[in-house]
Amino acid sequence: MTVPSRAPTPIAAASPLFLREDEIRRGIELLYFGYSAMIRGADAILAREGFGRAHHRALYFIARRPGLAVGDLLRLLAITKQSLGRVLNELQGHGLVEQSIGTTDRRQRLLRLTDAGAALEAALFAELEAGMAAAYGEAGQTAVTGFWAVLVGLIPPEDRALVGRLGQA
């Protein structure tokens, strides 16, 4: 995938008083507007399919960790069991997600994407990837590392290990 060339956008340096309200509000605004712009293309695909962002998040995390337990997905999404049940029923009804019984704990329900689910998730990811790759390229490695550190700091400490395991097989 090629990333379109963009002229770097001048960014004002954070104030040495970066913990003041104005600086924190600026960070919240940038996070909000950046996320809104990044997710726009994926939202259009979801709307065409009759799905919302909860469906997208479920597809994304199941793709990241095939065999993900329903309980772990519930923790990752931080939604009610009822909401997750509705989302999973809709995804299963459309043939995008399949469920199996755990091998060591038969009460466990493990989730995987079907081929159709993987194709939809890949299309959604492609929409996100283009914007992230361009922004990462513009910011540079040091800024990306700092951005990741801030985002990890936003995750409750008790959830960091679960999030950290997402990319592990």
Domain ranges of the chain: 38-164
What is the chain's pLDDT, residue by residue, as a tens digit (169 residues)? 455 555 566 677 777 777 889 989 999 999 999 999 999 999 999 999 999 999 999 999 999 999 999 999 998 898 999 999 999 999 999 999 999 987 777 788 999 999 999 999 999 999 999 999 999 999 999 999 999 999 999 999 988 888 888 766 5
Helix/strand/coil for 109: strand
User: How far is 110 from 107, CA to CA, in rounded Å?
Assistant: 10
> Residue 142 has which token pair?
């040091």
Instruction: Give the pLDDT of residue 58.
Output: 97
User: How far is 78 from 163, CA to CA, in rounded Å?
Assistant: 12
User: How far is 13 from 111, CA to CA, in rounded Å?
Assistant: 44
Is the distance from CB of 39 to CB of 128 less than 8 angstroms?
yes
pTM of the model as a whole: 0.83
Instruction: Give the pLDDT of residue 6.
Output: 57
The CATH T-level fold of domain 38-164 is Arc Repressor Mutant, subunit A (1.10.10)
